[in-house]
Amino acid sequence: MEKDKLKAFNEIYSTYYRKCFLFARSYVHDVDIADDFASEAMVKLWENYNTTDDVLNTQAFLLTVIKNLSLNHLRHEQMKLEVHESILNVSQREIELRISTLESCNPDLLFSEEVRYLYEQTLASLPEQTQLIFSMSRHEDKSNKEIAQYFGITVKGVDYHIAKTLKVMRINLKDYLPTLLFLL
């Protein structure tokens, strides 16, 4: 009895495996996945195989298994594409924003009197030694070591004064941040 069942199943396998494979491949467009689905359909058929030799039931069963496997696969692929597209849309919007920001940037305004005035006012609001240290660093291209020797302080002290100035500049000139790259 078991031998007959195995022989019958081998006949079904040789008759339907290729059809299952081709059907799956026509939808999933991937040879390896189609092969996996055809094999999985055959395993499910074996697990559910009964001794009746009803060809229509066998075809319908295999077609249903392949259809469901393919649908699940395609839905998963669709979800991956939607997530990928969403990520691309966010990246696209970010790039568009950067492009529009740069396009609206007018170099003549970057060095306008208003920005220079705000910069100078902010610098003037700091203690005199901090102003001098910052000016020597940014406008006279002195090294921190040279500035430290001039004022008789440590290099860390110079770093502190420069960091303090930059912090105040960032706060007071936050609307003109791109300009600061050229001024500082």
| Tokens read off for 6 | 């195995």
Q: Report, as an integer, the average pLDDT of 15-20.
A: 94
CA 143 → CA 91, 101, 150, 160, distances in Å? 40, 34, 11, 14
State pTM to two decimals. Answer: 0.49
Question: What would the CATH number be for the domain defined by 107-183?
Answer: 1.10.10.10
CA 23 from centre of chain: 35
Q: If you ran DSSP here, which 8-state letter would residue 176 be given?
A: G
Average pLDDT, the chain: 86
pLDDT at 52: 47
**Where does the pLDDT of residue 31 fall: very low under 50, low under 70, confident under 90, or very high at 90 and above?**
very high
Exposure on the CB side of residue 160, measured as CA atoms within 13 A? 8
**Which part of the chain is CATH 1.10.1740?**
2-102
* Of 49, 6, 41, the residue nearest 21 (C-alpha): 41
**Which part of the chain is CATH 1.10.10.10?**
107-183
Pick the CATH number of 2-102 from 1.10.10, 1.10.3470, 1.10.1740, 3.30.420: 1.10.1740
